[in-house]
Amino acid sequence: MTEPRDHPFVAAVKPLVDAMGGEMMDPALAEPDDVVLAWEGQELLAVRLPQLSDSLDRILAVLERRHGVPLAQLDRKAKQDVVRILEARGAFSVRHGVETVASALGVSRFTVYNYLNRDAAAQTKPEKTAKGED
């Protein structure tokens, strides 16, 4: 029989667990907040989810790798795009999220708020239509 750690299901979920910063472990070691994954009735592994505050640091690191330079070196438009991505990922629901992001981007927290407000205003502004169209 295939050992759980060698099971194809475990190999399939590993990239997802790694991407979200989780930790895979033996189901026998699972704590109440861990997620135990089973396949065809057999518990194969447990996943310990990261703390929310750790997730923000992980997302910032991924974005930095994606851009290939420290986030503070990005131009204004790229920083606005980063803020938009972070907002969509819930980064600003974390305590001190704005301050953490501002520090990573090399801007003030007020600048981050301006980026957020500018994006919100752009989303609520009605689009102009050509003359005569309703």
Q: Is residue 36 part of a domain?
A: yes
Give the count of domains, the chain.
Answer: 2
Tell whether 8 and 71 lie within a shared domain: no
Tell whether 19 and 67 lie within a shared domain: no
Distances (CA, A) of 89 to 52, 69, 128: 11, 21, 30
Distances (CA, A) of 78 to 4, 10, 73, 94: 43, 36, 10, 22
Mean pLDDT of 107-122: 91
- Residue 42, domain extent: 4-48
Residues 41-68 pLDDT 10s: 999 999 999 887 788 988 999 999 999 9
Name the pLDDT band for 1 (thresholds 50, 70, 90).
very low
This prediction's pTM:
0.66
Tell whether 16 and 57 lie within a shared domain: no
